[in-house]
Copies of this chain bind each other. A is one copy, B any other.
């Protein structure tokens, strides 16, 4: 099976594409830049959704749904916002097709032209704040803590499956608060929640911090992000949380009466993660044999494969396997017993490796005789023979170990590839060489940031929350700097 994959070393980008296709995660559709998320890929996304949704609800958020369409005029209300999104908007201009009179098939009906064009949401701040205007009068109506699971469209010119597609699935939280402090706290809570999710569920270590002004969300006062490192040394922004100040409240005239009877604009946050997380998950852990999925997000955690020659062997193995399956199922694990006789065990081994199933159990006649099974873990490809008794405890523990091991491996890789550079030469060598994160001093100007990007393609991924104050000189301009920031070439 692995032969179908280009190796990471040969061509990382091709390896990724091959993997997404061969592991049946997604494919390009007939519509430029839009993907089809196939059942196996979607099953992983459902696991991601379920856990995030649980975390959102546990922190007091509720779900709602706002329209796909945004009147064009709404966009113009917040100046930075329209500037940021206008260039990639899909626009609906008509609401009817008709048969062409000259017989050329179906065409747009020119009589069904909309008075005002509708933009397909690239993000929903404007349509949501237009609703909040009617929902908020007093401090008693605050906070509003709403999340939405939705599809959005950004007309990207260069697309890649999961990483950058014209349409993608995401969640967007939009909260409204009585004070700046509360909104800032919420924005920070959510980036922390994302970081926790990335580390605990995705086994993906991330750096947390604020974006520089030039990398901020269009309309935000502060954009916080989590940044992960992929195996090719490039960074990937995996989630963002924005403190929006009163920008959208002002644009949509959303005021409230505070406890002292004073009228003020409402404070806002928004935050989101998308199907891009799928790209991060695939890229961060997988190898030349295929996907490596952290057990917490694997749709199938354990597969049992019978190895037999005769029908009577299979019968005995099945009895044994079904017991294991039931036992593991009771422990809350998702298990499949694959009895297909159209494929060889070898083919199945390779296929489940490609699909990243964390634990494989193989059972042959000798195992039955010895009361054992052969267990193989996907992350290290190690095999061991263990006794039938206590298999439930063994597998449960093994899955936990795998989850931890995948995280530790990614963490070690990330740490080994986080460099503290003090000279421009060294900076360029790393960035142009094997890549990775670079912690370096920066003079705080957008000009220097732009120059560095121009010369190396590296951008400031974030100003990490935990970067310690340290006097230094800007890596590029030599001007004074008081802390290091995180650079990388990013997806």
Contact = CB atoms under 8 A, between A and B. Distances in A.
Contacts of A70: 31
Interface in A23-51: 27, 29-31, 34-39, 42-43, 45-46
Nearest to A65: B37
A241 B257 CA distance: 51
A180 interface: no
Interface stretch (A2-10, A88-96, A390-398, A441-449): A88-96
A119 interface: yes
B155 A72 contact: no
Contacts of A120: 68, 92, 120
Interface stretch (A74-82, A185-193, A309-317, A406-414): A74-82
Contacts of A65: 36-37, 42, 45, 169
B37 A64 contact: yes
Contact of A127 (B30, B108, B155): B30
Given A96-B86, A97-B119, A130 B30 contact: yes
B75 A106 contact: yes
Contacts of A151: 68, 150-151
Most B C-beta atoms less than 10 A away, residue of A27, A67, A98, A131:
A67
Nearest to A154: B95
Main secondary structure of the interface of A (DSSP, over half): mixed
Contacts of A69: 31, 34, 90, 167
Given A67-B34, A68-B153, A90 B82 contact: no
A88 to B, nearest CB: 7
Contacts of A117: 108
A30 B88 contact: no
Q: How large is the interface on A (under 10, 10 to 19, 20 to 34, 35 or more residues)?
A: 35 or more
Contacts of A34: 67-69
Contact of A88 (B67, B93, B95, B153): B95
A134 B28 CA distance: 11
A155 B96 contact: yes
Give the oligomeric copy count. Answer: 2
A148 B63 CA distance: 19
Contacts of A86: 96-99, 106
Contact of A108 (B63, B88, B91, B169): B91
Given A68-B34, A93-B94, A95-B88, A63 B42 contact: yes
A62 interface: yes
Contact of A90 (B66, B72, B73, B118): B118
A63 B44 CA distance: 11
Interface string A92-114: 11111111000001101000000
Nearest to A30: B130
A91 B92 contact: yes
A31 B91 contact: no
Contacts of A30: 71, 74, 127, 130-131
Contacts of A401: none
Contacts of A62: 39, 42-43
10 contacts: A29-B66, A36-B66, A37-B64, A38-B64, A39-B63, A88-B95, A89-B96, A91-B97, A93-B93, A93-B108
